[in-house]
């Protein structure tokens, strides 16, 4: 699992951020859960004038710099959060609820890959899709 210090190292080595990119990053620092772009946009609009396209551009730049990550929900919507740890989920295809899964079953693979490939790994996400118990019972 990545630590907060690895996030700080990534942020310290990234080029200067625009004020909009910094605003998106600051807002994500205040969140406990991953949020979709539309919700981030709504929260930012309460604080400053910013366009939805600007939010999407900021999210893409922050993602490419390894400062944030995105994860697709069961409905295809992207959710954004800080890169502070790897995440693992069991996601229900019917209700869309995600359940965190710990410990990391692929950390050893990442540790082995990093020095052996010409690729900078920022994070990984592992997700299993199926049905949660209430949804299984609802279709029986």
Residue 13 pLDDT greater than 70, yes or no: no
Say if CB 27 and CB 82 are below 8 A apart. no
pLDDT value at residue 31: 92
Closest by Cα among 126, 35, 34 to 86: 126
Could you read off the pLDDT of 79-126 as tens digits, one per residue? 999 987 677 889 899 998 888 887 888 888 888 888 888 888 888 888
| Domains by residue range for the chain, with CATH | 4-139 (1.10.10.10)
For the purposes of burial, counting CB atoms within 10 Å of the CB of 34, is it exposed (0-12), middle (13-18) or buried (19 or more)? buried
Tell me the three state secondary structure of residue 130: strand
0.75 surpassed by pTM: no
Interstrand relation of 87-92 and 125-130 (parallel, antiparallel or unpaired): parallel
Residue 12 pLDDT greater than 60, yes or no: no
Q: How many other C-beta atoms can be found within 10 angstroms of the C-beta atom of residue 113?
A: 13
Could you read off the pLDDT of 35-86 as tens digits, one per residue? 999 999 999 999 999 999 999 999 999 999 989 999 887 788 999 999 876 7
Decide which of 73 and 2 is more confident: 73
Residue 15 pLDDT greater than 70, yes or no: no
pLDDT value at residue 27: 96
pLDDT value at residue 7: 41
pLDDT value at residue 9: 40
Say if CB 104 and CB 123 are below 8 A apart. no
């Amino acid at each position: 699992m990545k630590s907060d210090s690895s996030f700080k190292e990534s942020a310290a080595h990234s080029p200067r951020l625009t004020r909009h990119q910094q605003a998106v990053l600051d807002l994500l620092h205040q969140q406990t859960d991953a949020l979709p772009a539309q919700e981030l946009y709504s929260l930012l609009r309460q604080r400053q004038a910013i366009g939805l396209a600007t939010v999407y551009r900021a999210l893409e730049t922050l993602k490419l710099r390894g400062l944030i990550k995105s994860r697709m929900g069961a409905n295809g919507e992207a959710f954004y959060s800080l890169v502070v740890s790897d995440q693992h989920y069991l996601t229900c295809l019917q209700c869309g609820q995600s359940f965190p899964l710990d410990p990391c079953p692929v950390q050893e693979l990442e540790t082995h890959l990093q020095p052996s490939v010409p690729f900078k790994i920022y994070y990984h996400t592992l997700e299993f899709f199926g049905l949660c118990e209430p949804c299984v019972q609802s279709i029986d």
